[in-house]
Amino acid sequence: MALPSEHLHHNLFYLISLFSLLVLSLLHPIAANPAAKSYIVYMGRSTKELGDIEAAKQSHLTLLSSVIPSEASERLFLKHVYHHSFKGFSAMLTEEEASILSENDEILSIFPDTELDLHTTRSWDLLESSSGMARIQRLYPNGSNDVIIGVIDSGIWPESPSFDDDGFSEIPSRWKGTCMEGSDFKKSDCNRKLIGARYYDLTESSSNDTVGSPRDETGHGTHVTSIAVGNLVPNANDQGLARGLAKGGFTSSRFAVYKVCNSVSCSASASLKAIDDAIQDGVDIISISLGLSVQNLTFLDDPIALGSLHAVQAGILVIAGAGNSGPNPKTVVNTAPWIMTIAASSIDRTFGSNIVLGNKKVIQGFGVNFNSTKSFPLVFGGDAAVNSSFFKAASNCAPESLDRKKVEGKIVLCIDDEEYRNLTRIEKENTAWFAFAEGLILVDQAIQRSFPFAGNAAYTQIDNTGAAQILEYINSTKNATATILRSVDILKFEPAPVVADMSSRGPGKQTEGILKPDLAAPGVGILAAWPPTDDNGDFTMGKPTGFAMATGTSQACPHVSGAAAYMKSVRPKWTPSMIRSALMTTATITNNAGNPIANGTDAFASPHEMGAGQMNPNGALHPGLVYETNTTDYLYFLCYFGYETRLLRSMFDRKFTCPTNSSEDLISDINFPSISIGKLQGARTITRTVTNVGNRNSTYNVKIDSPDDLVVSVSPETLVFSPEHRKASFEVSFDGKGATTKGYKFGSVSWSDGKHWVRLVFAVNII
C-alpha cells in the first residue's frame, strides 16, 4: 500500500500520490449520470449450485436493470464479478440506485468502491542475527518450495534476477492460476517461480477489453515481492548505498501477482476480485500492502476484510500492513481479527550525511541523498519568512511560510517545535522545495523514527545539539554557507529495532476488543528489487534491473509473508491461526543493545505500536504452545460486533445462531494470541485455550508481567500436557479498582516449560 509517508526511490512514491490527488480533483463522473459512481455489491458465499460465470453475470445484469433506467443503459455493465469463494459484483450506480439494491434480500452489503492506499539485504541480516534464522534454515534444508504467496499490489517486473527460477521444480499440479498477457508482458515472462500473473481493468468503462498488463508501473509491487521471496542477488545496492547480498524471506517460495494498482491509484473492487481469484488459484498466503485510509467502516464495508474472511475460511493466511499514518493513536488499518496486521520497525543500518559549515566545523547528520558535495548559502527558516508574523511557522518550514526570494538557491535549516509536531517530514520538505531551496537540514531529535529519503536533493537530519551549533554559526556571520555531504552506510547502528514514527498505531477504531497491530517487522530503509530507470527516472525496458530503498508498512508486511511461507514449508499441516500465534507469542521485545524496543520518542514501545513485538522467525518454528482461532471464533466475533444470524448464515456454509447475549464487550473472549479489553470497570476475567505443539509430555508454569496498579492473576498457574491432553484452558483476571491512573495498561502473561517461552501480551483500558 503506498501510504502518504512511504518513501520510494527519488521521492517517486510521493509524486505518484500527489499526482493521484490532482487527478482525483479533476475527474468528472461519467456523462450518462453525474451522480453515478462505482459500488461493490456483496452477496455472501458461493455455492455449488451457482453455475458458470456467464449465468452469474446474466443474473447480476438482470438485477442491475431493475434499478438503472433505460436512459442510462450505458451503465448497464459489470466492472468485476465475484464468483469463486463469494458472490457479488461491482457496477456504476447512483446513491439512490444503491439504496434500492440494498433492500434486496440477496444482497448482504453494498458500499462505494473506494481507492486504497499503497501502504533486502540488511533487514533479513538483522532478523537472522537476532533470531538464528540462518541456523534454522540449515536444520530444515528441505522445506517445500511448493508454498505459494499471492501478492496483491501494483504488478511485477519479471526480468529482475530476484525472480529467476533456476533450481525450481515443475509447478505444483494443484495450481489453477494463469499468466495473463499484455502489450508488454508475455506468458513466457512467468516461470517456475513466478507462476501466475493477473491484472484487472481499473477503468470505469463498459468495454469488454481488459486494459493493462501485469507489469509494474510504480515499482511498489516489485519491491515488496522481492522482500518476501526474492532470490539471492550479490552486490545489490542503491546508487552505491546499502551494498550487499539481496535476499527475500523465503527464496524457495513460488509466487503469483495480482495487479490492482496503476500509476495513479489502487482499486478496492479490483482488490476484492484479486482475493477471490487468489483463493481459487490455490495460493497459501496472501500478502497485501494496501488498505483503506478511512477507518470508520464496518468489517463488511471493507473489501480487504471481506475478501480475507473468505480466504481464511479456505485455509489461507492473510498478511497486511498496519498503515503509515503514525504516530497518532487509532490510525491502524486492516484490523479484522482474521488478518495478520504488521507494524514497521527500523533495522541496524542507517545512513550518515554530515554537514560541513563554512567555518569548517562538521555536524553529524543522517539522511539518504545522492547529491554532489557542493557548498551553498545557508539560511535559517525563521529568517526567510514571508513576513515577520510567519517567523515561527517558517522556522519549522510550515507550508507557504517561506519567501522564495530569501530561500532560492540556499540550504534551509528547519527546527522541530512542539506545536508543529503534526507537520510531516514530507510537508516540510515540500515547503523547502517549492521555495526552490537547494538543500534542507531538518531537526529531528529521534533520528530513527522515520527514514530520511530525498533522492538527488541535498537533505539531512540532525538532533537539537547539532541545530544549536548551526544556529550559532549562522548568527556569527553574514555569509553562512554549508555543504551536505553524500550519504555513507552506517552498519550495526544502535538501537535497533525502533518502531517507525510513520507506522500506524492502535487501538483499532472499529473495536478495541482485539489488539492491533499484531506484530512488527523491518520496514525502514529496505533495499529490494526495483525496475530499471533511465536518466529521467522513467522505467525502461531492456536495461539492467536495479534495487532501491523504500520505507513503510508495505515493506514490513512482506517480511512476515516470507517468514510465514518458510514456516508453512516446514510445518505444512499448521493452520493460518497456528502460524500467526507462533509468530506473535515468540516475538522479540528487546533491541540489539539489550534494552526494551522503543518508539520514536525513546519511550518503550507498547503493544499498540508493535503488537506482540519484533518478528522472530527462528522461535516461531518452535513455539511450544499455540492459540488456535477458528471459523467459529470469527462467527462469534461478528455476532458480538453486531451482525445478525441471518446475514452470517449467508456468508458461512454452516448452520449457526448468534448467542442471545451478544455484545461488543465479549470480543475480548475470542481465543486470540493477545488480550485487549477496551473498557475495564472494576474487574474482569478472560479465558484462553492453548494447544501443545511441542513435547508431548510437558509442564508449563506461568509468569506475569504487569504494571503495579493493575492486579493480574492466572488460574491455574500450571498447565500439564500429555499425548491424551493436547489442549488446556486458563483464566486471566484483571482488577483495576486500585489503579492510580486511568487509560491503557500493558503487560504480558508467559508460559514456560524451561525450553519455550510463550508470551501473551495484553492491553487493558481502565476507565
d(CA 185, CA 670): 46
In contact, 611 and 556? CB cutoff 8 Å: no
Under DSSP, is residue 738 helix (H, G, I), strand (E, B) or coil? coil
How many other β-carbons are positioned within 10 Å of the β-carbon of residue 652?
A: 19
From the list 349, 348, 342, the residue with the least C-alpha distance to 615 is 342
Amino acid, res. 582: A
Annotated catalytic residue 220: yes
Strand partners, 637: none
Burial 417-456 (b: 16+ CB within 10 A, else e): eeebeebebbebbbbbbebebbbbbbbbebbbbbbbbbbe
Question: Cell 534476477 appears where?
Answer: 161
Strand order in the sheet with 115-118: 266-267, 115-118, 290-291
Q: Which of 9, 10, 119, 220 is catalytic?
A: 220
Question: How much of the chain is in helix, strand and coil states, percent to nearest 5?
Answer: 30, 30, 45
Instruction: Count how many residues are written for the chain.
Output: 767
Query: In the 3-class helix/strand/coil scheme, how is 359-373 assigned residue by residue?
Result: CCCEECCECEECCCC
Residue 405 Cα distances to 240, 379, 385, 386, 592, angstroms? 35, 12, 10, 9, 47
DSSP 220-234: HHHHHHHHHHPPPEE
- For residue 761, the 8-state DSSP code is E
In contact, 562 and 248? CB cutoff 8 Å: yes
Residue 509 Cα distances to 112, 165, 399, 504, 745, angstroms? 20, 43, 29, 12, 18
Burial 18-27 (b: 16+ CB within 10 A, else e): eebeeeeeee
Question: Cell 521471496 appears where?
Answer: 229
In contact, 275 and 311? CB cutoff 8 Å: yes
Annotated catalytic residue 748: no
Torsion of CA 536, 537, 539, 540, to 10 degrees: 40
Q: Which of 125, 153, 276, 444 is catalytic?
A: 153
How many other β-carbons are positioned within 10 Å of the β-carbon of residue 360?
A: 6
How many other β-carbons are positioned within 10 Å of the β-carbon of residue 753?
A: 18
Cis before 607 (ω within 30):
no
Annotated catalytic residue 554: yes
Q: Which residues contact 247 (CB under 8 A, 6 or more apart)?
A: 120, 121, 124, 230, 231, 232, 233
Under DSSP, is residue 482 helix (H, G, I), strand (E, B) or coil? strand
Q: What angle do CA 25, 551, 453 make, to 5 degrees?
A: 85
In contact, 193 and 263? CB cutoff 8 Å: no
Which three cell numbers mark 493? 547502528
Residue 375's Cα: distance from chain center in Å?
39
Q: Which of 554, 577, 606, 748 is catalytic?
A: 554
d(CA 170, CA 713): 54
From the list 500, 557, 556, 527, the residue with the least C-alpha distance to 8 is 527
Q: Which residues contact 293 (CB under 8 A, 6 or more apart)?
A: 3, 117, 323, 325, 333
Amino acid, res. 509: K
Annotated catalytic residues are 153, 220, 554
